[in-house]
């Protein structure tokens, strides 16, 4: 009997050994795919088990976290949700993350390995670091000014520091409170549906993700192309462009809103926004030259990140001459994001070079130690420095005595360009009023701010003055604030 008892004991031992081997299979060998399975709720639970890091504007957090007491414990809150939504985006337990919440998610959620003092040790103890903070380049007072200026309108505003590419203000209107999307449950779903079906499309980030026909503001780009290509050598010399201008290869006549554009100089054309002159110059530069010049400003770039992705601003690479003529004055298929047009203004202000635009100054640990700092980097040389200097003069003239008078700031050097773009079938859509500008404070070595404003303005008439009418005052207020901050910083 002893022999049989031993065999039976061996069988029992074998069963238990099988359990241990199977445990090793499930818990170690196959653990990876099981842990990463999208149906495994531990991923979400772990993610929301601790408060998220903060997004800082001017050193103060604009975000917060709330203990919901639910299984997904910490929910995102926003101090001034609608004001900062165009940069923060939302961090929803139901609908995921967008914008900075998305781009810097690893830091905010505490999964970024660099947050740990000893990254390797962390992997062993499986501790999750407290969420790090994201310090943005936004200036609160400028953001508020722009937000107030666009209140009740549909549109967007971007302000950048030309020399560094720091985005100082980023406003999209109408906006929304991303906090309503933070949690889970039917309330969040309702809010999501309501926001998505709202006519003003509040969740659309018009500053980064919406492209508009840039209209006459695009003439700065065409002028830069003409000057760089040598098509225009003297900005005050007649350009040999007829008014009325017949689009090449067609019988269509291009109208002017301004007067005195026949054979006008480039200076006059920018000051009063002559369609005929700029269309003619665009055709004269030619398709290849125009495409090269326009892409140096960042058009057709799909890889631009600030660090959130930016919609592609377009300028067609294949066009007939008449289409090129229309494209050269910001019509036809030419479209641009407000950020792109702010970069155009910044290029002129920064002597032709565009500094890579960015929203995040640095990321820090929860204790404040810097994890990563966004260095100033050149994006592109959009034009020759001499061209930029001449365009600065021309843009200043447009503000001092031209279409952009509404943006003039006493005691400061301000250059600007207005624009109005019709769109829709037969131009029946709401017109877009544009204004791009830069401003240099008194006694300052270089321009402190470059802005682009676009307003979807039902009141805008077909004249360029309207761009100056509804968009320029917003730009002016923001630039004034920028100059005040700059002066304050110098003191």
Partner 1 sequence: MTAPRTDAPPPGVRVPKRRGVELSLLVCAVLISVYGYAAVGLARAGAVPPDAARYGAGLGLLALIAHLAVRFGAPYADPLLLPIAVLLNGLGLTLIHRLDLETPYDRAATTQLVWSALGVTLFILVVLLLRDHRTLQGYAYVSVAAALALMLLPVFFPAVNGARIWIRLGGLSFQPGEFAKILLAVFFAAYLSANLNALVYTGRRIWRFQFPSGRVLGPVVAIWLLSVGVLVLERDLGTSLLFFGLFVIMLYVATGRTGWIAVGLVLASAGAFLVGSLEPHVHGRVQDWLDPFASIRAGEGPGQLAQSLFSFAAGGMLGTGLGLGHSVLIGFAAKSDFILATAGEELGLVGLTALFLLYALFVGRGYRAGLLLRDPFGRLLAIGLASIVALQVFVIAGGVMGLIPLTGMAMPFLAQGGSSVVTNWVIVALLVRVSDSARAPRPEPADTGEPERVKEGAA
Q: Which residues bind partner 1 (CB under 8 A)?
A: 1-9, 11-13, 15-16, 18-20, 22-24, 26-28, 30-31, 34-35, 37, 39-42, 45, 126
User: Which CB, 33 or 489, lies closer to partner 1?
Assistant: 33
Least distance from partner 1 to the Cβ atom of residue 18, Å: 7
Q: Of the listed 65, 172, 216, 273, which one is catalytic? A: 216
Count CA atoms within 13 Å of residue 131 on its CB side: 23
Location of structure tokens 């090449």: 248
- φ, ψ at 449 (rounded to 5°): -155, 145
User: Which CB, 27 or 389, lies closer to partner 1?
Assistant: 27
> Both tokens of residue 483?
């100059």
- Under DSSP, the state recorded for 305 is B
User: Which CB, 13 or 237, lies closer to partner 1?
Assistant: 13
User: Which CB, 22 or 427, lies closer to partner 1?
Assistant: 22
Q: Tell me the three state secondary structure of residue 222.
A: helix
Q: Tell me the three state secondary structure of residue 277.
A: helix
Least distance from partner 1 to the Cβ atom of residue 17, Å: 8
In contact, 158 and 69? CB cutoff 8 Å: no
Q: Say what the alpha-carbon torsion angle 145, 149, 151, 156 is, to the nearest 10 degrees.
A: -90
User: Which CB, 27 or 237, lies closer to partner 1?
Assistant: 27
User: Which CB, 26 or 369, lies closer to partner 1?
Assistant: 26
Location of structure tokens 């781009």: 103
Report the distance separating Cα 28 and Cα 304, nearest Å.
41
Q: Of the candidates 447, 431, 438, which has an alpha carbon nearest to the alpha carbon of residue 399?
A: 438
User: Which CB, 6 or 189, lies closer to partner 1?
Assistant: 6
User: Which CB, 35 or 320, lies closer to partner 1?
Assistant: 35
In contact, 175 and 167? CB cutoff 8 Å: no
| Residue 216 bears catalytic tag | yes
CA-to-CA dists, residue 363 to 47, 102, 104, 135, angstroms: 19, 14, 8, 6
In contact, 257 and 219? CB cutoff 8 Å: no
CA-to-CA dists, residue 164 to 238, 343, 349, 361, 379, angstroms: 36, 11, 11, 11, 10
Q: How many CB atoms lie within 10 A of CB 376?
A: 12
**Burial tier of 130 (Cβ tally within 10 Å: 0-12, 13-18, 19+):** middle
Helix (H) or strand (E) holding 309: none
User: Which CB, 11 or 120, lies closer to partner 1?
Assistant: 11
Q: DSSP 3-state helix, strand, coil percentages of the chain (rounded to 5)?
A: 40, 20, 40
Least distance from partner 1 to the Cβ atom of residue 111, Å: 16
Least distance from partner 1 to the Cβ atom of residue 376, Å: 43
In contact, 139 and 482? CB cutoff 8 Å: yes
- Under DSSP, the state recorded for 253 is E
Report the distance separating Cα 415 and Cα 439, nearest Å.
6
User: Which bin fits 374, alpha (ψ -120 to 50), beta or left (φ > 0)?
Assistant: beta
Q: Which residues are designated catalytic?
A: 216
């Amino acid at each position: 009997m002893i022999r049989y008892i031993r065999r039976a004991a061996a069988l029992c031992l074998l069963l238990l050994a099988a359990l241990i081997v199977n445990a090793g299979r499930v818990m170690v060998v196959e653990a990876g795919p099981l842990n990463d399975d999208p149906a495994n709720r531990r991923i979400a639970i772990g993610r929301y088990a601790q408060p998220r890091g903060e997004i800082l504007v001017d050193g103060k957090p604009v975000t917060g976290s709330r203990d919901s007491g639910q299984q997904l414990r910490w929910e995102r809150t926003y101090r001034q949700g609608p004001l900062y939504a165009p940069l923060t985006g939302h961090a929803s337990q139901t609908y995921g993350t967008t914008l900075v919440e998305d781009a810097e998610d690893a830091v905010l959620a505490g999964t970024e390995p660099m947050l740990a003092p000893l990254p390797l040790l962390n992997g062993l103890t499986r501790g999750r670091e407290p969420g790090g903070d994201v310090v943005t380049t936004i200036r609160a007072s400028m953001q508020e000014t722009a937000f107030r200026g666009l209140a009740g309108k549909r549109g967007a505003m971007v302000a950048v520091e030309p020399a560094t590419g720091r985005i100082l203000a980023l406003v999209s209107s109408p906006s929304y409170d991303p906090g309503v999307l933070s949690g889970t449950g039917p309330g969040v779903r309702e809010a999501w549906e309501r926001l998505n079906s709202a006519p003003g499309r509040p969740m659309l980030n018009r500053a980064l993700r919406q492209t508009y026909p840039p209209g006459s503001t695009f003439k700065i780009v065409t002028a830069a192309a003409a000057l760089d290509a040598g098509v225009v050598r003297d900005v005050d010399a007649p350009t040999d462009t007829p008014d009325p201008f017949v689009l090449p290869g067609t019988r269509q006549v291009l109208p002017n809103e301004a007067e005195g554009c026949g054979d006008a100089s480039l200076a006059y054309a920018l000051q009063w926004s002559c369609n005929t002159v700029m269309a003619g110059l665009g055709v004269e530069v030619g398709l290849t030259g125009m495409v090269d010049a326009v892409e140096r400003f960042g058009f057709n770039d799909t890889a631009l990140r600030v660090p959130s992705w930016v919609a592609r601003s377009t300028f067609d690479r294949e066009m007939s001459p008449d289409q090129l003529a229309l494209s050269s004055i910001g019509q036809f298929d030419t479209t641009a994001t407000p950020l792109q047009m702010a970069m155009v203004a910044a290029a002129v202000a920064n002597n032709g070079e565009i500094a890579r635009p960015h929203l995040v100054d640095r990321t820090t640990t929860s204790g404040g130690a810097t994890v990563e700092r966004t260095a100033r980097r050149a994006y592109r040389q959009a034009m020759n420095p001499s061209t930029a200097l001449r365009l600065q003069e021309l843009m200043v003239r447009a503000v001092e005595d031209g279409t952009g008078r509404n943006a003039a700031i006493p005691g400061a050097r301000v250059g600007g360009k207005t624009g109005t773009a019709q769109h829709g079938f037969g131009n029946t859509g709401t017109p877009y009023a544009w204004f791009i500008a830069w401003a240099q404070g008194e006694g300052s070595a270089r321009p402190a701010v470059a802005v682009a404003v676009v307003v979807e303005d039902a009141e805008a008439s077909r004249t360029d003055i309207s761009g100056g009418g509804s968009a320029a005052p917003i730009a002016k207020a923001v630039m004034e604030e920028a100059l005040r901050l700059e002066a304050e910083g110098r003191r």
